[in-house]
């Protein structure tokens, strides 16, 4: 990670993290995930901060994890990866202030997971949400991420996202509950400022209690997922998906 890959700004009641790797469509590296967790720690240490904003530079939110990270993966590597990423997403959900994802462009794979872990998603008409892993890599996501998506958009829409491996546009996202609001690009900054001001003026403990209660309800008695993660990440199909993606060709699936 270069120092410019993740930018942070603390201005009054609002803390902003910008994923700034537009040449790679803001694909996340592991140090960038660590920087997101560290941002959450800094927010919690600044008692004057009342809202945390996550956004991406260059017309993309986050296009998943950098695929180069998956070269030569084993089942054990997949388990470690999902534990690490889920740890970051869990830290984001446990931040003491409301979180707003500003989605302009694609939020795919890990980017969708990050956006889903935020409380609100303010989108432009260019927003596109997707989890195309059945078409690209052949992996899966963690049980908590499946639970977040099912909680937001329902099991049927989650299955549609994965099985059809296509993208949901801003209006579809709004109708399903994935997007909180859709605003024109020229109005985005003004609307974001107004939203942050509104959130900053509300009772912090009420919002924290509500966010925490909903998280506890969602996470109560979640079943294990290690068998599913190991099955996918340790498969020949996943190795083929990574190679095909990097070679820019369609993968050849064999179901093993």
Q: Residue 148's domain is classified under what CATH number?
A: 3.90.226.10
DSSP string of the chain?
A: --TTSEEEEEETTEEEEEE--GGGTTPBPHHHHHHHHHHHHHHHH-TT--EEEEEESTT-SEE-B-GGGGTT--HHHHHHHHHHHHHHHHHHHT-SS-EEEEE-SEEETHHHHHHHHSSEEEE-TT-EEE-GGGTTT-----HHHHHHHHHHHHHHHHHHHHHH--EEEHHHHHHHTS-SEE--GGGHHHHHHHHHHHHHTS-HHHHHHHHHHHHHHHHTTPPP-HHHHHHHHTSHHHHHHHHHHHHTS-------
Residue with tokens 């709004």: 174
Per-residue pLDDT tens for 96-132? Answer: 999 999 999 999 999 999 999 999 999 999 999 999 9
Instruction: State the first-to-last Cα distance of the chain, in angstroms, to the nearest integer.
Output: 34
Q: What is the mean pLDDT of the chain?
A: 97
Rounded average pLDDT over 65-72? 96
Per-residue pLDDT tens for 228-245? Answer: 999 999 999 999 999 999
Residue 146: per-residue pLDDT? 97
Q: What is the pTM of this model?
A: 0.96
> What's the rounded Cα separation, in Å, for the pair 96 and 50?
8
Whether residue 255 lies inside any domain: the answer is no
Q: How many CB atoms lie within 10 A of CB 71?
A: 11
What's the total number of domains in the chain?
Answer: 1
Whether residue 73 lies inside any domain: the answer is yes
With bands split at pLDDT 50, 70 and 90, how would you rate the model's confidence at 41?
very high
Whether residue 31 lies inside any domain: the answer is yes
With bands split at pLDDT 50, 70 and 90, how would you rate the model's confidence at 50?
very high
Whether residue 72 lies inside any domain: the answer is yes
Print the domain residue range for 98: 6-186
With bands split at pLDDT 50, 70 and 90, how would you rate the model's confidence at 149?
very high
Rounded average pLDDT over 143-167? 96
> For residue 18, is pLDDT > 80?
yes
Residue 254: per-residue pLDDT? 97
Whether residue 209 lies inside any domain: the answer is no
> For residue 3, is pLDDT > 90?
no
Rounded average pLDDT over 58-66? 96
């Amino acid at each position: 990670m270069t120092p410019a890959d993740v930018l942070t700004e603390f201005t009054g009641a609002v803390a902003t993290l910008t994923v700034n790797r537009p040449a790679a469509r803001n694909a996340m590296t592991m140090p960038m995930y660590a920087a997101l967790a560290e941002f959450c720690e800094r927010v919690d240490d600044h008692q004057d901060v009342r809202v945390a904003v996550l956004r991406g530079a260059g017309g993309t939110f986050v296009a998943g994890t950098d695929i180069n990270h998956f070269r030569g993966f084993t089942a054990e590597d997949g388990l470690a990866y999902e534990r690490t990423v889920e740890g970051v997403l869990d830290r984001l959900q446990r931040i003491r202030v409301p979180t707003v994802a500003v989605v302009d462009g694609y939020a795919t794979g890990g980017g969708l997971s990050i956006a889903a872990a935020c409380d609100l998603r303010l989108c432009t008409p260019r927003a596109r949400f997707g989890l195309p892993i059945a078409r690209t890599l052949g992996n899966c996501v963690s049980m908590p991420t499946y639970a977040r998506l099912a909680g937001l958009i329902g099991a049927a829409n989650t299955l549609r996202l994965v099985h059809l491996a296509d993208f949901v546009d801003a209006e579809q996202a709004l109708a399903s509950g994935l997007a909180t609001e859709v605003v024109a690009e020229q109005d985005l900054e003004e609307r974001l400022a107004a939203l942050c001001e509104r959130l900053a003026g509300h009772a912090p403990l009420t919002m924290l209690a509500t966010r925490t209660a909903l998280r506890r309800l969602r996470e109560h008695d979640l079943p294990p997922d290690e068998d599913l993660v190991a099955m996918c990440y340790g498969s020949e199909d996943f190795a083929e998906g990574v190679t095909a993606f990097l070679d820019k060709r369609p993968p050849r699936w064999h179901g093993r």
